[in-house]
């Protein structure tokens, strides 16, 4: 993430990467321009913890107090390790930790919410750093921030967007009054700080979720588990891992604890070293599972809502998406777990059985973030297309960058397609097909559609509600029969 060198007084100093130093400068500039609560946006794997650790160290060196808020045990440890590496004495406010009198404290949100009468944080010189700040408008976070009305705030996140559409800015009811946007994923890949992702997606656009309702902006977990925890889907995941990423350290994101367990069982039955992990496991077992991914004792870690934030295992070579989501933030957090570089690692392989790239675009697509929330803007991501020859998802309009196949300007007749495209085979996604599905006039798309799957792909790309496909396909067939 960064380098250490000796500073004044013998304290180690973190040598920031150029884009990290620029982020620090722009945060300070936001404060100088009158902001009380800027939000710093930097991609997963860019070293956000290093950046806010550097800011915390500089703040403490000026005699001020710093409170770093995190919401997961893994993030408490991660922040503490970065502060320790920079030589910053600090305390930890979390279950199992003794109170320590230091100007810098790393606090679990859950623990601090029960200790808001602690007089150590009544000082007007307090800086509150909010890690994974897209959570900051909810529940305990809001209560904590309300308890420190005189403090300066600094939010940090890779994805300043919530599934429920709520904005993070003050005008939208959030705490932040300025946004500082760091480098893009594409910038970091270009400069070698992240690796490129090769995304492979199913030819039919992903699983059928027409019967899964939406709750608070994302799929209902119970109904989603029923839709995804099927032998055909999990079996395909095992087969495609063997085909496209055999033996690579992989994370499979699952819908439920039982889904994760059954997925791990099927991987083990096929001869791979696989374990399931969740927040319900004892801490030692969970740590051993994650550590196993680093040391090779685990090849496939099947997780349920555990490591989409805060996991730092650069050796991850494959991400297996088995948990469909309407949340762009969750999709990017999951894929981002594998984008960190490691010796000998040239790229990340994403096996997208959940249809995430079709819905949200490629991981390195340009994205325009806002503090206003969904209702105040239209989110557009660069469209993608899937190569029918090799299955790779990409954004090229002329030819597949993976296999070189050229694309005709007109869509080929569906009757002439290789049937293997419709039999669960993952194909690499390309951006042009998704752009065409999203931007071509609907009537023209429907005139070219020849199968139910063609119409369903249109629905998914455009975000229409479940049930639209049935009506559109019925009307299309009736129109053709009458012609």
DSSP states along 124-166: TT-EEEEETGGGTTSHHHHHHHHT-TTSEEEEEES----TT--
Which candidate, 285, 291, 345, 281, places its Cα nearest to that of 315?
345
Whole-angstrom Cα distance, residue 455 to residue 135? Answer: 36
pLDDT tens, residue by residue, 211-224: 899 988 899 999 99
Pairwise CA distance, residues 304 & 277, whole Å? 7
- Any alpha helices (H) in 1-101, and if so which ranges? 18-32, 48-61, 73-85
pLDDT of residue 200: 92
368: pLDDT strictly greater than 90: no
* Superfamily per CATH, domain 197-474: P-loop containing nucleotide triphosphate hydrolases (3.40.50.300)
Q: Report which secondary-structure segment, H or E, holds 318.
A: strand 318-321
pLDDT digits (tens, 9 = 90+) for 167-225: 899 988 899 999 999 999 999 999 999 999 999 987 666 788 888 999 888 999 999 99
Cut 0.85: pTM above it: no
- Which of 258-262, 333-337, 421-425, 465-469 bottoms out in mean pLDDT, i.e. has the lowest? 421-425
Distance CA 117, CA 409 (A): 66
**Residue 410 pLDDT class (50, 70, 90 cuts):** very low
The pLDDT of residue 307: 58
Residue 88: closest CA among 74, 100, 97, 71: 100
Tell me the domain boundaries of the chain.
3-183, 197-474
pLDDT (tens digit, 9 = 90+) per residue, 26-37? 999 999 999 999
| Distance separating alpha carbons of residues 220 and 207, to the nearest angstrom | 15
**Residue 257 backbone phi and psi in degrees, to 5:** -60, -45
pLDDT recorded at residue 238: 94
> Residues 6 or more apart from 365 whose CB is under 8 A from it?
186, 381, 382, 384, 395, 431
* β-pair type (38-41, 152-157): parallel
Q: For residue 418, what are the contacts with CB-CB under 8 A and spacing of at least 6?
A: 388
CATH of 3-183, one of 1.10.1040.10, 2.30.33.40, 3.40.50.720, 3.40.50.300: 3.40.50.300
Question: What is the average per-residue pLDDT within 256-280?
Answer: 93
Q: How confident is the model at residue 482 (pLDDT cuts 50, 70, 90)?
A: confident
């Amino acid at each position: 993430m960064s380098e250490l060198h000796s500073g004044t007084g013998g304290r180690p100093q973190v040598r920031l990467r150029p884009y990290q130093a620029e982020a620090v400068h722009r945060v300070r500039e936001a404060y100088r321009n009158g902001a009380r609560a800027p939000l710093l946006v930097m991609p997963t794997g860019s070293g956000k913890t290093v950046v806010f650790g550097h800011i915390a160290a500089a703040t403490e060196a000026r005699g001020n107090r710093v409170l770093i808020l995190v919401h997961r045990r893994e993030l408490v440890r991660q922040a503490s390790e970065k502060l320790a590496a920079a030589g910053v004495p600090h305390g930890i406010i979390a279950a199992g930790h003794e109170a320590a009198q230091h100007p810098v404290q790393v606090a679990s949100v859950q623990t601090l919410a029960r200790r808001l009468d602690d007089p150590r944080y009544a000082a007007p010189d307090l800086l509150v750093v909010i890690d994974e700040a897209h959570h900051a408008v909810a529940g305990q976070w809001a209560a904590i921030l309300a308890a420190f009305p005189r403090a300066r705030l600094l939010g940090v996140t890779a994805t300043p967007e919530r599934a429920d559409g709520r904005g993070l800015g003050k005008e939208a009811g959030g705490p932040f009054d300025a946004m500082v946007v760091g480098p893009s994923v594409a910038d970091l890949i270009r400069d070698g700080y992240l690796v490129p992702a090769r995304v492979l997606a199913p030819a039919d656009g992903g699983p059928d979720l027409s019967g899964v309702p939406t709750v608070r902006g994302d799929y209902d977990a119970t109904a989603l588990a029923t839709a995804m925890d099927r032998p055909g889907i999990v079996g395909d995941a095992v087969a495609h891992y063997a085909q496209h990423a055999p033996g690579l350290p992989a994370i499979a994101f699952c819908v439920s604890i039982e889904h994760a367990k059954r997925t791990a069982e099927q991987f083990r039955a096929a001869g791979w070293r696989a374990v399931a992990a969740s927040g319900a496991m004892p801490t030692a077992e969970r740590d051993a599972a994650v550590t196993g991914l680093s040391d090779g004792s685990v090849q496939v870690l099947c997780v349920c809502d555990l490591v989409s934030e805060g996991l730092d295992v650069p050796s991850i070579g494959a991400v297996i998406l088995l948990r469909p989501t309407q949340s762009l933030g969750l999709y990017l957090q999951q894929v981002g777990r594998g984008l960190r570089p490691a010796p000998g690692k040239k790229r990340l392989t994403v096996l997208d059985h959940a249809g995430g790239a079709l819905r949200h675009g490629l991981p390195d697509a340009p994205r325009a973030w806002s503090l206003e929330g969904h209702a105040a803007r239209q989110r557009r991501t660069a469209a993608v297309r899937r190569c029918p020859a090799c299955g790779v998802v990409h954004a090229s309009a002329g030819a597949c960058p993976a296999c070189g196949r050229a694309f005709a300007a007109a869509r080929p007749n569906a009757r002439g397609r290789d049937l293997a495209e419709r039999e669960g085979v993952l194909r690499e996604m390309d951006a042009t097909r998704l752009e065409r599905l999203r931007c071509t006039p609907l009537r023209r798309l429907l005139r070219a559609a020849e199968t139910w799957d063609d119409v369903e792909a249109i629905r998914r790309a455009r975000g229409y509600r479940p049930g639209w496909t049935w009506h559109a396909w019925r009307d299309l067939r009736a129109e053709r029969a009458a012609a």
